[in-house]
Structure 1
């Protein structure tokens, strides 16, 4: 199980949480929900880079960990002199202190070779930019999570050339290759350009098309590799081979380990505000779809930041596998926020009283 510790990052005074297969953080706006979400996503990416390269030196170089974190997740101005991040799972533990500027790392040998390479996807609240700006692919942007999502959207839309139903809304999406346009069919067969659809569809369609591609189509398409990745895989097989030489026959499966490291076999999604511009019943349908994907063959990990009581209770309603963790952002005496994990009693109270309890989250715990 993954364990994350955050201290003094943005509005967060502290977060100390263990992550499950499916995770939801709920709280008021500007309370640090996305700080936890972004930190968890970045730590997953750092883990992936270290596992594929089997080298930690890059993150120990002056400013590398800090700068990549702040740039990709647009967190400039959020860190303080005593900000701190720590991440731990079955294979490694690392931390970064802004006070000392030190990236500290250690392997856990018992779990080091159990890694399974994921596709990591951060889906920002600004995802509707691909509908709001028709020529978005021509816009020059920094290399942050919005630009990265736009790149992923381009890959996903390009294969969705047949009508894809959008939940239970009686609406479908398809990509028209002939003119590089996104088309949405609404009631009575009317076809609209994506840019002319409602705000709800402009937020929902990029999310669903992207996730449909990740969970059902991406693993069936050829995955291109750049020169750096090819070189890393060459180094990796040598390291795996040398490690295996010291193991008895049958104790260590080289082919399986190499395949798990080099072929993306599952999807890890970090999602901001899935409820954006959606009617409550539609939020519930979306929550069920997200859970089905996360629990499916290519699922692996889902982390959602939300304000919506409907979204949260929909997740809890379908929690029949005990694989969901719920986190609250609670305001402390100094006006900053502390992330706490909901107890079974708190989860039941939230499910029983739903919206009423959302108006008084501080009563929990």
Structure 2
């Protein structure tokens, strides 16, 4: 699992943690939740980018400034002593005032790429008229909007997305070029006409469905840039292995030039095409070089998992709907494959997540006649696959001496004293005011 240390960035003083399958950050406004989420998003994306490029030479202070600080709007967040340390499956990454580097790890050649999706709090911007024509800076919100403009077209009326416990459906109407919502009674309205809650939750829901279902059942559209990256990676691996077989030493400059020429070579593409044909025909006589290149193509040509990062899923939603959304998100993700990180202000999301963890612990004891709980089973998640952090004053505020600084007990459940403390904070003023009520 990916490991992080983040120091002195924005409101963050120091956090040290390991990501899990399902992760949640809770805390007040401006406590650093989004800062952590953005750093995580960048590091996971960087690892994917390195796997596509097959080298780390381009990782520099200027690269990090553009791809992290500018893209995620953190340019003014660096404080004295800032640091990011990331330990992933394929790379280690360090970013401080004095050092900036990414280092390939042993076995990186066998690592597979996945999707990295950052779903910002401003996601309801997709409902703005003519959003595609508006000029926007290269921020994460713009990236999400343009991803949405590509994704939403894949769900038309014939394959509308069921928003499960919300009892709605979504589809894109190509003739009117409008996002449509089908209500429980069958009535249809445009997404821009819907409530603020629906305008926030529908893009989130549909995009997560795309990341957890559609991309594994369909062939993704591959941009020219991505195709070029894949061909470059395959060429680089082929040339490196071939030169090793021939005992030829190649410096990076010569290798880069050889890769450029190989990508343009019909001969190289013909070799790969022949190898793929033989492989499909069940031919086991391919040499190790071609086997390795074909394995690499399989690893980087399509996503094998999704890393999904969501800011404030609860935006503009009634508590009951917040609960249903968490149940649906946990039902949609494949916990053996995908990873989910959420930032939130809402204790209702924690209640819902706690329910799903407790459900996993007791599911064998739930009788068949408990239909409501039986319907929840697809949302159950093992507590050991979940990490929940509370952030206060730039640090995690753990339960006891928890080694990963979470607010969970030895079973993995969120401690009741957390909820008691939240409720006490809410009820303190009420209790004080009750002292001044007339007895009758």
TM-score normalised over the length of structure 1? 0.87
Query: What residue in structure 1 maps to residue 134 of structure 2?
Result: 139
Deviation (angstroms), 1:205: 0.5
Q: Counterparts of 1:1-365 in structure 2 under 5 Å?
A: 1-60=1-60, 62-97=61-96, 99-100=97-98, 102-109=99-106, 111-131=107-127, 133-162=128-157, 163-219=160-216, 220-227=218-225, 228-238=228-238, 241=241, 254=292, 255-295=294-334, 299-319=337-357, 320=360, 321=382, 322-331=384-393, 336-338=394-396, 341-342=405-406, 344-345=408-409, 350-353=414-417, 355-358=419-422
Of 174-183 and 232-241, more deviation after overlay is shown by: 232-241
Structure 1 unpaired stretches of 5+: none
2:47, 2:90 within 8 Å by CA — same for their partners in 1? no
Query: Higher relative CO (CA 8 A, sep ≥ 6), structure 1 or 2?
Result: 1
Distance in 2, matches of 1:166 and 1:222, equals 23
Deviation (angstroms), 1:270: 0.7
Distance in 2, matches of 1:195 and 1:216, equals 25
Going from structure 1 to structure 2, the CA distance change for 1:242 and 1:342 (only over 3 Å counts) comes to farther
Write 1 or 2 for the structure with the bigger share of helix. 2
1:253-286 residue CA offsets vs partner (Å, 9 max, x unmatched)? 6233431123212111011001111122221221
RMSD: 2.7
Higher Rg of the two aligned structures = 2
Going from structure 1 to structure 2, the CA distance change for 1:310 and 1:236 (only over 3 Å counts) comes to farther
1:56-76 residue CA offsets vs partner (Å, 9 max, x unmatched)? 11113x511122211111112
Distance in 1, matches of 2:122 and 2:419, equals 26
Write 1 or 2 for the structure with the bigger share of strand. 1
The count of aligned residue pairs is 349
1:15, 1:339 within 8 Å by CA — same for their partners in 2? no
TM-score normalised over the length of structure 2? 0.73
Of 164-173 and 350-359, more deviation after overlay is shown by: 350-359
